[in-house]
Amino acid sequence: MGFSHYELPKMLFIFLVFMNSCMFSYGGNFIQEFDFNWGGNKVKIFNGGQILSLSMDKLSGSGFQSKKEYLFGRIDMQLKLVTGNSAGTVTSYYLSSKGPTHDEIDFEFLGNVSGEPYILHTNVFSQGKGDKEQQFYLWFDPTKNFHTYSIIWKPQHIIFLVDNTPIRVFKNAESLGVPFPKNQPMKIYSSLWNADDWATRGGLVKTDWSKAPFTAYYRNFHAQKFNKSQFLDAKWQNQELDANGRRRLRWVQRNYMIYNYCTDYKRFPQGFPLECRKF
The length of the chain, given as a count of residues: 279
Amino acid at 117: P
CB burial string 79-89: b at 16+ within 10 A, e below: bbbbeebbbbb
Distance (Å, whole) CA 242 – CA 249: 10
93: closest CA among 116, 117, 112, 118?
Answer: 118
Answer yes or no: 7 catalytic.
Answer: no
End-to-end CA distance of the chain: 58
Q: Point out which residues pair with 215 in neighbouring strands.
A: 55
Q: Spot the catalytic one: 69, 108, 116, 133.
A: 108
- Is 108 catalytic? The answer is yes
Strand order from edge to edge, sheet including 89-96? 34-38, 62-66, 187-194, 89-96, 104-110, 119-125, 134-136, 257-260
| Contact in structure between 50 and 69 (CB atoms under 8 Å) | no
Which residue among 7, 69, 104, 174 is the active-site one?
104
For residue 63, give Cα distances in angstroms to 119, 128, 252: 20, 22, 29
The residues annotated with a catalytic role in the active site are 104, 108
